[in-house]
Every structure is written in C-alpha cells, then in structure tokens.
C-alpha cells in the first residue's frame, strides 16, 4: 500500500513557493507588515497543519457524495433500459 503523506506535505515545491510569496505580499499589502520567507513558511505550515486535513477531508467527502449520487442515477438509468 502506498504511503500517505500528511496534508501539508502534499504541496509541490512550486505550489509551496507560490503560497509563501502570496503570504508575503498579503502581509505587506493588507497588514502593512513585512515578513520574510521563514515567517511565511511558518504561517503556511501552521495553517496547513491546522486546517489542511479538514479541507482535504471535506473534498474527499464531497467527491464521495457526488459519486454516490451519480451511482444512484446510473442505477435508475439502467433500470429504465430493462425490457419486460
């Protein structure tokens, strides 16, 4: 079985870099505060650890619900095809 990474480890290097850059810009524009790359990385890791798994799980549950709904629709469609 494949090893499951923690949710905060699921960002690619490019995604992580972009998120840190966005945090630096956000703090500068919205809060008039300057943070460096280390501060941005700490903030990103904190939020990914605290909320990342909840957001990820919500996505999985939503996908599961959509698939279950579609499966039920397919069952009705197939039942309509039965020739009596």
Q: Is residue 54 part of a domain?
A: yes
Query: Is residue 46 assigned to a domain?
Result: yes
- 74 assigned to some structural domain: yes
> What pLDDT, on the 0 to 100 scale, is given for residue 69?
95
Residues in the chain: 84
Using CB atoms within 10 Å of the CB of residue 48, give its burial: 0 to 12 exposed, 13 to 18 middle, 19+ buried: buried
Assign 26 a pLDDT band (cuts: 50, 70, 90): very high
Q: For residues 45 and 6, is the Cβ–Cβ distance under 8 A? A: no
Q: For every residue of 5-41, which 3-state class applies, written as one string?
A: CCHHHCCCHHHHHHHHHHHHHHHHHHCCCCCCHHHHH
Domain count, the chain: 1
Cut 0.85: pTM above it:
no
DSSP state of 70: H
pLDDT in tens, 72-83: 999 999 998 898
DSSP state of 2: P
Residue 1 falls inside a structural domain: no
Could you list the residue range(s) of the whole structural domain that residue 34 is in? 12-81
Residue 64: C-alpha distances to residues 59, 60, 61 (Å): 9, 6, 5
């Amino acid at each position: 079985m494949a090893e499951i990474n923690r949710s905060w480890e699921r960002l690619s290097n490019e995604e992580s870099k972009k998120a840190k850059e966005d945090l630096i810009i956000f703090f500068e524009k919205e809060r008039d505060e300057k943070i460096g790359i280390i501060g941005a990385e700490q903030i990103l890791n904190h939020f990914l650890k605290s909320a990342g798994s909840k957001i990820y799980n919500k996505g999985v549950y939503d996908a599961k619900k959509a698939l279950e709904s579609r499966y039920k629709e397919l069952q009705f469609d197939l039942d309509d095809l039965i020739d009596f």
